[in-house]
Amino acid sequence: MIQLLKVTKTYGQRQAVAGLSLDIGPGEFVVLIGPSGSGKSTTLRLINRLVEFDTGSLRFAGQDIRSFAPEALRRRMGYAIQSVGLFPHWTVEKNIATVPRLLGWPAARTAARVHELLELLQLDPAQFARRYPHELSGGQQQRVGVARALAADPEVLLMDEPFGALDPVTRLALQQELKRIHTLSGKTIVLVTHDIDEALYLGGRIVLFREGRVVQDGSPLALLTRPADGFVSDFLGRSELGLKRLGLGTVADRLRPGEPAGGDPVRSDANLREALSAFFVQGRESLPVVDAQGRPAGALHLVDLLAAHPASPPAAAAGEGA
């Protein structure tokens, strides 16, 4: 889908991207993460030609990216950023319809797509379609920004710190929405963030940058269990690696089906880190578990949670896939 081979980008004396090689396949959810100035956002902008690379090769859908007109390329790649950038004097429906209208879609098709996306992002069309951006909360504006990026059904969704300015509750809700959209659509998503917890929650694959280069490329579990070096351990939060690893498993993985237990229930799709918090809050050694519909599913025991250490995968080599 997207291939970068020995790509470089230099600003003055500073090399923002240094000989980067990266292959992103169809349907992947790849998170680019690293310190400020590490090259992750520059890489994202190289992909949709908001920035032109200096040397190397960059291909999209099997073709040299420079063979595409920039406008045509960007219509195949949705782009969502932290500042949203909605047009203030346009309604929500008109903002979402920006690219379909540029592409000359019939009015009926455009209206149907706007309605579909508002429902997908859990914004009631009857309530929100004719509102203006200033009438929306920050989280609602960000949902509209994501809907606009998806409006023309792009093959790739690029996202640069899309939830960085939101409060933690709204941020989590939108992260959950994005995971659901990825599951439903199967689109290729490339997201930049500085938040390691967001990366671990969203990414099927994490690419960690440092000084324009890839330090480690692999699954969340691979990075947590076999960090390539001390920098990776420190960036992930060396003292919290165990807790972060718990966040990758779900209650359903450690459930004892059919067992009764006292206390307030936890959901089977909650992660084990959330379950650990529930154990401490309630001061119990076992908790009842319910499924997504609230039906009893069994019990979770603290001893099972603390013993939940799946076999470690082989280390992802520093720069693997890069």
Q: Tens digits of per-residue pLDDT, 109-126?
A: 999 999 999 998 889 999
Confirm whether 240 is domain-assigned.
Answer: no
- Do 270 and 147 share a domain, yes or no? no
Domain end (from 129, 154, 179) = 154
Q: How many domains does the chain have?
A: 3
pLDDT digits (tens, 9 = 90+) for 178-201: 888 899 888 999 999 988 889 988
- Do 1 and 70 share a domain, yes or no? yes
Confirm whether 317 is domain-assigned.
Answer: no
- Do 115 and 180 share a domain, yes or no? no
Average pLDDT, the chain: 88
- Do 13 and 108 share a domain, yes or no? no
Q: d(Cα 85, Cα 308) in Å, to the nearest integer?
A: 44
Domain end (from 100, 128, 154) = 154
Phi, psi of 54 (to 5 degrees): -90, -55
Closest by Cα among 297, 304, 302, 291 to 260: 297
- Do 72 and 4 share a domain, yes or no? yes
Query: Which residue has 């579909």 as its token pair?
Result: 116
- Do 184 and 125 share a domain, yes or no? no
Does pLDDT of 310 surpass 70? no
Structure confidence at residue 314 as a pLDDT band (50, 70, 90): very low
- Do 11 and 67 share a domain, yes or no? yes
Look up the domain containing 267 and give its range: 250-306
Q: d(Cα 296, Cα 248) in Å, to the nearest integer?
A: 23
Structure confidence at residue 320 as a pLDDT band (50, 70, 90): very low
Confirm whether 230 is domain-assigned.
Answer: no
- Do 164 and 190 share a domain, yes or no? yes
Q: What is the pLDDT of residue 246?
A: 81
- Domain CATH number, residue 268: 3.90.1280.20
Closest by Cα among 277, 218, 219 to 243: 277
More confident call, 192 vs 315: 192
Token pair for 67: 């063979």
- Do 147 and 170 share a domain, yes or no? no
- Do 13 and 45 share a domain, yes or no? yes
Confirm whether 264 is domain-assigned.
Answer: yes
pLDDT digits (tens, 9 = 90+) for 231-273: 999 998 876 777 788 888 889 989 999 888 889 999 998 888 8
- Do 10 and 71 share a domain, yes or no? yes
Q: d(Cα 147, Cα 316) in Å, to the nearest integer?
A: 34
- Do 66 and 8 share a domain, yes or no? yes
Q: d(Cα 140, Cα 136) in Å, to the nearest integer?
A: 6
